[in-house]
Structure 1
Amino acid sequence: MKKWIFAAALLFSTSIFAACGTQGTASSASSTKNDDTINVVTTFYPMYEFTKAVVGDEGDVTLLIPAGNEPHEYEPSAQDMTKITDADVFVYNSDALEGWVANGLDTVDTDKTKVIQAAEGITLSESDGASEEAGELDPHVWLDPVLAKQEVETITAGLTDQFPDKADVFEKNAEAYIAKLTDLDKKYQAAFDNATQRSFVTQHAAFGYLAKEYGLTQEAISGISPEEEPSAARLAALKTFVEDHDLSIIYFEETASSKVAEALADETGVATEVLNPIEGITQADLADGVTYLSIMEDNLKSLMKTIK
Structure 2
Amino acid sequence: MKNRRDPIKVGIGASFLSLMLILGGCGSNASEVATAPASTTDPNTQAASTTEAVTTQAEKLKVETSFYPMYEFARHVGGDLADVELLVPAGTEPHDWEPTPQDIAKIEEADLLIYNGAGMESWVDQVLDASANGDLVAVEASQGIDIMEGSEEEEHDHEHDEAATEEHDHDHEHEEEAGHAHSHDHGGLDPHVWLSPALAIEEVRSIEAAFVEKDPAHADQYKSNADAYIAELEKLDTEFKDGLSGTKRTDFVTQHTAFGYLAREYGLTQVPIAGLSPEQEPSAQEMAEIVEFAKEHDVKTIFFETLVSSKVAEAIASEIGAKTAVLNPLEGLTDEEIAAGEDYLSIMRANLKALQAALNE
Instruction: Please give the TM-score of this superposition, normalised by the length of structure 1.
Output: 0.90
**Are the equivalent residues in 2 in contact too, given 1:189–1:214 (CA < 8 A)?**
yes
Q: Which residue of 1 aligns with 2:209?
A: 157
Which secondary structure does the structure 2 equivalent of 1:280 belong to? coil
Q: Helix, strand or coil for the counterpart of 1:204?
A: coil
Per the alignment, residue 213 of structure 1 pairs with 265
User: What's the counterpart of residue 93 of structure 1?
Assistant: 116
CA offset digits 1:204-239 (Å, max 9, x no partner): 000000000001000111111110011111111111
Comparing 210-219 with 126-135, which one deviates more in the overlay?
A: 126-135
Pairwise mapping of residues 240-251 of structure 1 onto structure 2 (< 5 A)? Answer: 240-251=292-303
Partner of 1:80: 103
Residue identity matched to 2:90: A
2:195 to 108, 128, 143: 143
May I ask how many residue pairs the two structures share in their alignment? 296
Tell me the residue number matched to 1:47: 70
CA distance in 1, matches of 2:182, 2:97: 18
Q: Secondary structure at the match of 2:59?
A: coil
Alignment gaps of 5+ in structure 2: 1-14, 43-56, 152-175
Q: Matches of residues 221-260 of structure 1 in structure 2 within 5 Å?
A: 221-260=273-312
**Which of 176, 182, 194 is residue 133 of structure 1 equivalent to?**
182
Aligned pair in 2 of structure 1 residues 39, 236: CA closer, same or farther (>3 Å)?
same
Q: Which residue of the partner structure matches residue 339 of structure 2?
A: 287
Structure 1 residue runs of 5 or longer lacking an equivalent are 1-6, 29-33
SS of 2:139's equivalent?
Answer: strand
Q: 2:39 aligns with which of 8, 22, 25?
A: 25
Runs of 4 or more consecutive aligned structure 1 residues displaced over 4 Å after TM superposition: 7-10, 14-17, 20-24
Is the alpha carbon distance of 1:24 and 1:213 closer, same or farther for their aligned partners in structure 2, counting shifts above 3 Å?
A: closer
| Residue of structure 1 equivalent to 2:231 | 179
Partners in 1 of 2:298 and 2:222 — Cα distance? Answer: 48
Structure number having the greater helix percentage: 2
User: Which residue of 64, 79, 86 maps to 1:63?
Assistant: 86
Report if the CA contact (8 A) 2:17-2:131 is conserved. no
Query: Contact 2:118–2:189 at 8 Å: present in 1 too?
Result: no
Partner of 1:4: none
CA distance in 2, matches of 1:26, 1:121: 32
Letter in 1 for 2:252: F
Of 143, 160, 171 in structure 2, the residue corresponding to residue 120 of structure 1 is: 143
SS in 1 for 2:39: coil
**Which of 278, 293, 318 is residue 266 of structure 1 equivalent to?**
318
Between 1 and 2, higher relative CO (CA 8 Å, sep ≥ 6) is seen in 2
Q: Percent identity?
A: 44
Query: Contact conserved, 1:226 with 1:256, CA < 8 A, in 2?
Result: yes
Q: Equivalent residue of 2:134, what SS?
A: coil
Give the letter for the 1:76 counterpart.
P
Distance 1:119 1:110, change over 3 A: farther
Check 1:236–1:108 CA distance in 2 against 1; reply closer, same or farther (3 A cut). same
